[in-house]
Each structure stands twice: as C-alpha cells, then as structure tokens.
Amino acid sequence: MDSRTQDLAKAQPGSASATSIERAERYSAHNYHPLPVVLARGEGVWVWDVDGKRYLDMLSSYSALNQGHRHPRIIQALKEQADRLTLVSRAFYTDLFGLFCERLCTLAGQEMALLMNSGAEAVETAIKTARMWGVRARGVPRDRAQIVVCENNFHGRTTTIVGFSSEPQYRDDFGPYAPGAFPMIPYDDVAALERAITPHTVGFLVEPIQGEAGILVPSPGYLRAAAEVCRRRNVLLMFDEVQTGLGRTGKMFCCDHEGVKPDLLILGKALSGGTLPVSAVLGSRQTLGLYQPGDHGSTFGGSPLACAVGLASLEVIVEERLPERAADTGAYFMERLRALRSPRVDHVRGRGLLIGVCIKDACGPARPFCEALQAEGILAKETHGQVIRFAPPLVISRSEVDWALERIARVLG
Ligand code: PLP
C-alpha cells in the first residue's frame, strides 16, 4: 500500500471524509500530501471536519491565519465590500486602494506599495523591482543583474523562484533556468554575502527566519550585519516576510527584532486574514517609484475586495495587539514544550508563535507524530522531514495552549 492508499484506509470507509478524500485523490493533481482529515468549518483557532470532530489548528494555513479563522471584523469587511464592488482592475482608481497602500506604508515605515496576490507573485515583483533598479538607477547592464539568495530558501513555486531553490525536488524537473542570475550562499553567513557580491549584484533576498526549511532562526545580529553589507555595497536588502511578517514572530515584522528596515519588504499570507490572496512589496520612491505604466501589473492585485479585507486584517493585527500576544504566548508555549523533556525531541526552536519541534533522527520522521497529533485533535504539519511546525493563529489563549500541551505530551512522551 502506498502512503496515499494508507491515508484513505485511515478515513472510515463510506464516511463523508473517505468520500471527499477519494474524490480529491482521483481528480486533483497530487502536488500535496495532506493529513487524512477533511475540514468543513473554522472559527478562531478551531476547525471541524465533515464528521463534526473538532481540532486545534496549529498550522494556520502556513501563517495566513494569524487573525484566526473567520475573524468577524474581516468577514464583515469582506461581505460589505462584496455587496458594493469586488473588482474593476487597476485601469481605474477605487476608493479603498490608496488608503490600503497608505496604511501598509505607515505600518512598515516605507514610502510606496505594489499590491499583488500570492506570496510568490510578490517575490517575483521584488525580483523585477531589484533588477529594474539595477538597470535604471545603478547602471547595471541589462540581463546581467544578480540577486544573492540563501541555501534552503523558500520563496514560492513560480519557475523563476524554483530555479534558485536548493531543494532538488522543487527545482530539478522544471527548468531551464537562467544560469548565474541567483548566486547562492549559506544562510546566516555574512562573510559569504560579502564575498558573493559582484558589480552586477542588485539585491540580497532572504527570509528573516527560514520557515519552510524547518524554522531556522539565524544568529543574533545577522540581519543587522547583512543590512550593513548591503548598504555599504549599494545592494538592495530584500526581506521575504510572507511567513514571518504581520505579528507571527512576536514583532510586527521579524526584522523589527533587530531594528532593521529592508529596502524591499515582501508581505502576503496574513494580509487578508485568510480570506483571499493578497500580497505586497513595500519600498522607497527610489525603487518602486521607478515603475512606469505598463511595466508590471495584475488583474486582481489591489482589487476593492483585497483592499477591504487587507485594511480590516491590518486593523485586527494592530488593535488586538497580535505581535505582543505572539511574543507572550509563544515564549510560554516554547518554554513548556522544552519542559516536556521528551526523549524523542532533539530540540525546540523558533520565535513568537513560529515554533519547530525537531524530532531525533533515531525516532523516525515527523509525519507519524503529526498523524498521532491529529488523532488527539491537533492539526500540525511536518516540515523538512524531522520538524513538527507549531504555528497556531496568534489569537490563541494560554488555556488553549495548555489544552494542546497535554495532548502533545501524550504524543511525544
Ligand atoms: N515566501 C515565503 C517565505 C513563504 O513561506 C511562502 C509560502 O509558504 C511564499 C513566499 C509563497 O507564498 P504563496 O504560497 O502565497 O505563493
């Protein structure tokens, strides 16, 4: 039996879950390997499957649900906007567009925003912006611009982006790629950054914490030192905060932990509180100000619906103090996870409510532990083989963390 057939067998034959899984497996490409649970409803930190069983969501759609499932304020904004105007494309101005861009810029201390949809599109936009800045402002010859990236990066799944992934599965069968466009250096290595910069380097693209790589937190001072190198060498510092931004790590942006402001800040996921894809690149007039009409665009990017949910999502993050709550609850959660002293756990790492529990190699991969957690009513997903990621909505309370810890202790004990 392959693992997919085993998953089918785990859902009760003939149940609503089994029917849904069977249909998905038959008619959808197998580009994911979901846990065998079929969800039908969500509220706050909780989700329910089609058979009515309740689970604590410890994944939050890879940090897209920082505000929790169906936050009433965001859903109200979505419904009200849906009753007024959903889409006109950027061929016309709309009433909330400028306001949303302004709020984003104010929040991030930046001058301009460029709105897109998915995180990968925002990363692509940042890449285009850095290359354009290189050519138009710094005089780098066309088609020669380089952007330094890190090993184990994850920036999305478009063909440009997977071309500089160090993960063979993400990259190998999807080429051809432009050789030399994205020199790769080890993560958390400032000396390597210094060495990698050439006269054609226009940017350094980096995640302040590598999420998909298994919640890899760099050494203290890394971001500040990288910023210093970029400034001195006239290279744009590009932070991909699609996963770490908007409160997840205990600050509004993860780079705030080191008081660093990037030249280009890339946001997505929680920008819409889990309702629809909304992403953005933020930067200065020297960079984003170089765009001319027709250089870049997106039919849905910055739609009235996106702006309405975006504005509500930011309001919820600020007014409910989600970064502070993530710092507080995250520190508590991480301390209690470490205190479990599980013989199966090598170590616990992370920041705020982005936490990785690294299972010892000798205890096998993390996936079976995630399946055992599912049976206990907790949905968590493995990342990079050995790591269980715990990243619940930031609205989670201490008592809900305690509820989870009791069950996690049973699974890891
Ligand atoms: N960048 C980072 C750091 C991410 O974690 C992700 C998704 O997990 C992306 C970019 C891509 O975002 P999306 O899946 O919305 O394209």
Give residue-wise pLDDT tens across range 287-319: 999 999 999 999 999 999 999 999 999 999 999
pLDDT at position 247, please?
98
In the chain, pLDDT over 70 holds for what percent of residues? 97
* Predicted confidence (pLDDT) at residue 1 exceeds the cutoff of 50: no
Q: Say whether both 141 and 91 belong to one domain.
A: yes
pLDDT at position 27, please?
98
Burial 240-268 (b: 16+ CB within 10 A, else e): bbbbbbbbbbbbbbbbbbbebbbbbbbbb
Q: ∠ at Cα 112 (273, 107), nearest 5°?
A: 45
**Pairing state between β 264-267 and 236-240:** parallel
- Among the candidates 268, 300, 319, a domain finishes at 319
Q: Say whether both 304 and 272 belong to one domain.
A: yes
Tokens 């079976």 sit on residue: 368
- CATH number for the domain spanning 382: value is 3.90.1150.10
Mean pLDDT of the chain: 96
Would you please indicate which residues are annotated as catalytic (active-site) residues?
154, 240, 269
Quick one: residue 268, left, alpha or beta (phi over 0 = left, psi -120 to 50 = alpha)? beta
**Residue range 230-269, pLDDT digits in tens:** 999 999 999 999 999 999 999 999 999 999 999 999 999 9
- Pocket of ligand 1, candidates 60, 150, 154: which has the most ligand atoms within 8 Å of its Cβ, to mutate? 154
Nearest protein Cα to ligand 1, atom 7: 156
**Residue range 52-95, pLDDT digits in tens:** 999 999 999 999 999 999 999 999 999 999 999 999 989 999 99
For residue 116, the CA-to-ligand 1 centroid distance in Å is 13
For residue 13, the CA-to-ligand 1 centroid distance in Å is 35
pLDDT at position 9, please?
55
Q: Say whether both 145 and 224 belong to one domain.
A: yes
Q: Say whether both 47 and 100 belong to one domain.
A: no
- Among the candidates 319, 337, 354, a domain finishes at 319
Q: Say whether both 289 and 227 belong to one domain.
A: yes
Domain total in the chain: 3
The answer, yes or no, to whether any atom of ligand 1 lies below 6 A from the CB of 97, is: no
pLDDT at position 14, please?
77
User: What strand order describes the sheet that includes 54-57?
Assistant: 39-43, 46-49, 54-57, 378-379
In the chain, pLDDT over 90 holds for what percent of residues? 94
Q: Say whether both 271 and 234 belong to one domain.
A: yes
According to the 3-state scheme, what is the secondary structure of the chain?
CCHHHHHHHHCCCCCHHHHHHHHHHHHCCCCCCCCCCCEEEEEECEEEECCCCEEEECCHHHHCCCCCECCHHHHHHHHHHHCCCCCCCCCCCCCCHHHHHHHHHHHHCCCEEEEECCHHHHHHHHHHHHHHHHHHHHCCCCCCCEEEEECCCCCCCCHHHHCCCCCHHHHHHHCCCCCCCCCEECCCCHHHHHHHCCCCEEEEEECCCECCCCCECCCCCHHHHHHHHHHHCCCEEEEECCCCCCCCCCCCCHHHHHCCCCCEEEECHHHHCCCCCCEEEEECCCCHHHCCCCCCCCCCCCCHHHHHHHHHHHHHHHHCCHHHHHHHHHHHHHHHHHHCCCCCEEEEEEECCEEEEEECHHHCCCHHHHHHHHHCCEECEEECCCEEEECCCCCCCHHHHHHHHHHHHHHHC
The answer, yes or no, to whether any atom of ligand 1 lies below 6 A from the CB of 156, is: yes
**CB neighbours of 25 closer than 8 A, spacing ≥ 6?**
4, 8
For residue 257, the CA-to-ligand 1 centroid distance in Å is 21
The answer, yes or no, to whether any atom of ligand 1 lies below 6 A from the CB of 212, is: yes
pLDDT at position 214, please?
95
* Predicted confidence (pLDDT) at residue 8 exceeds the cutoff of 80: no
The answer, yes or no, to whether any atom of ligand 1 lies below 6 A from the CB of 268, is: yes
Domain enclosing residue 12, as ranges: 1-36
**Residue range 359-395, pLDDT digits in tens:** 999 998 999 999 999 999 999 999 888 999 999 999 9
Ligand 1 atom nearest to 118, measured from its CA: 15
The answer, yes or no, to whether any atom of ligand 1 lies below 6 A from the CB of 154, is: yes
- CATH number for the domain spanning 225: value is 3.40.640.10
Q: Say whether both 132 and 201 belong to one domain.
A: yes
**Residue range 334-364, pLDDT digits in tens:** 999 999 999 999 999 999 999 999 999 999 8
Q: Say whether both 240 and 293 belong to one domain.
A: yes
The answer, yes or no, to whether any atom of ligand 1 lies below 6 A from the CB of 119, is: yes
The answer, yes or no, to whether any atom of ligand 1 lies below 6 A from the CB of 242, is: yes
Q: ∠ at Cα 55 (53, 61), nearest 5°?
A: 130
pLDDT at position 109, please?
98
pLDDT at position 275, please?
98
The answer, yes or no, to whether any atom of ligand 1 lies below 6 A from the CB of 49, is: no
Q: Say whether both 364 and 304 belong to one domain.
A: no
- How much is the pTM? 0.97
Ligand 1 atom nearest to 64, measured from its CA: 15
The answer, yes or no, to whether any atom of ligand 1 lies below 6 A from the CB of 7, is: no
Q: Say whether both 45 and 10 belong to one domain.
A: no
Q: Say whether both 23 and 56 belong to one domain.
A: no
* Predicted confidence (pLDDT) at residue 11 exceeds the cutoff of 80: no
- Pocket of ligand 1, candidates 269, 276, 384: which has the most ligand atoms within 8 Å of its Cβ, to mutate? 269
pLDDT at position 80, please?
98
- Among the candidates 279, 299, 319, a domain finishes at 319
Ligand 1 atom nearest to 121, measured from its CA: 16
Average pLDDT over residues 106-113: 98
Nearest protein Cα to ligand 1, atom 5: 243
For residue 119, the CA-to-ligand 1 centroid distance in Å is 5
Q: Say whether both 107 and 237 belong to one domain.
A: yes
For residue 51, the CA-to-ligand 1 centroid distance in Å is 31
pLDDT at position 15, please?
81
Average pLDDT over residues 146-174: 98
Ligand 1 atom nearest to 277, measured from its CA: 15
Q: Identify which of 51, 10, 98, 103 has the alpha carbon closest to the alpha carbon of residue 314.
A: 103
* Predicted confidence (pLDDT) at residue 227 exceeds the cutoff of 90: yes
The answer, yes or no, to whether any atom of ligand 1 lies below 6 A from the CB of 240, is: yes
For residue 214, the CA-to-ligand 1 centroid distance in Å is 14
For residue 256, the CA-to-ligand 1 centroid distance in Å is 20
